Amino acid sequence: MKTHAVFFAVCLVIAGCAGTEVKKEASVADKAKMIAGYLATAQQQESKGELVEALENYKLALTVDPENQTAQAKRAEIEKKLSGLADENYKAGLELQRMGRYAQARQKFLTAVRYKPDFPEAVEMLKAERLDSQRVRLHFLYVIKPGEQLSHVAERYYRDYQKHYLIGAYNEVDDATKIAAGQTIKVPVIEGLTCFVSPDEAAALSK
C-alpha cells in the first residue's frame, strides 16, 4: 500500500510539472500573439500616416516585451518624426498668430501638442490664450482708429505689440485682420502685465 501511495504521489508531482510547462508554453504563445497583433496594427496605421496611433501600439507592444527590438526601433523612429512635425506646427502657429489669425494658430498649437505632448512652448501658448477671471478682473473699452490693428493697441497699452493675441483672446477674435475702424473692443488689465492707461481710462475700468 505504501508503495502504491508513493507511486501515486510521484505521478501527481510529474503531472503538476507537466501542467506548469504547458501553462508556460501557452503564456509565451499568448504573449507572442499579442505582440504580433500590436505590431501589425502599428504598421498598418503607420502606412496610413497615423503616426500618433502607431506610436501608441508600438508602446503597447513594449509593455508586453520591453526588449522587442522592432518595437524599440519603431518607437524611436516615429517619436523623431512626430517631434519634427510638432516643431513645424508650432512655428506655423507663431506665424499665424503674428498675422492675427488666432483660430488657425490655435489649431497649429493643438496639433503640435498632439504630436508631442511634452512641448512646453506650445502648451504655454494655448494657456496664454485662455484669460480666466483670475488673471483678468478689469477691462476698459477702446474704439479702433482708422489704420489701427490689435498690435498697435497692444503696443500702446502693454508696450509690446506681440501681446496683441491677448486682446484678441479676451475679445474672442478668430481673425484680427477683420477688426475694423470704429469697432469697440475690450482691453484687459492682466495680472502680471503692466497696462499703461490714462486717468480717464483708469476711471472707466469695468469688471
Residue-by-residue DSSP string for 55-111: HHHHHHHHHH-TT-HHHHHHHHHHHHHHHHHHHHHHHHHHHHHHTT-HHHHHHHHHH
Task: Identify whether the C-beta of residue 105 lies closer than 8 Å to the C-beta of residue 97.
Answer: yes
Residue-level pLDDT, tens digit, the chain, 207 residues: 555 554 444 444 454 554 555 455 547 788 889 999 999 999 999 999 999 999 999 999 999 999 999 999 999 999 999 999 999 999 999 999 999 999 999 999 999 999 999 999 999 999 877 776 567 878 999 999 999 999 999 999 999 999 999 999 999 999 999 999 999 999 999 988 899 988 878 777 776
C-alpha 87: how far from its chain's center? 12
CATH architecture, domain 131-203: Roll (3.10)
Q: Rounded to whole angstroms, how far apart are CA atoms 42 and 73? A: 13
Fold of the domain spanning 10-77 = 1.25.40
Nearest to 190 by CA among 152, 138, 147: 138
Q: Rounded to whole angstroms, how far apart are CA atoms 97 and 162? A: 9
- Which residues are CB-contacts of 202 (< 8 A; sequence separation ≥ 6)? 140
Residue for grid cell 484680427? 176
Q: Rounded to whole angstroms, how far apart are CA atoms 183 and 83? A: 41
pTM: 0.73
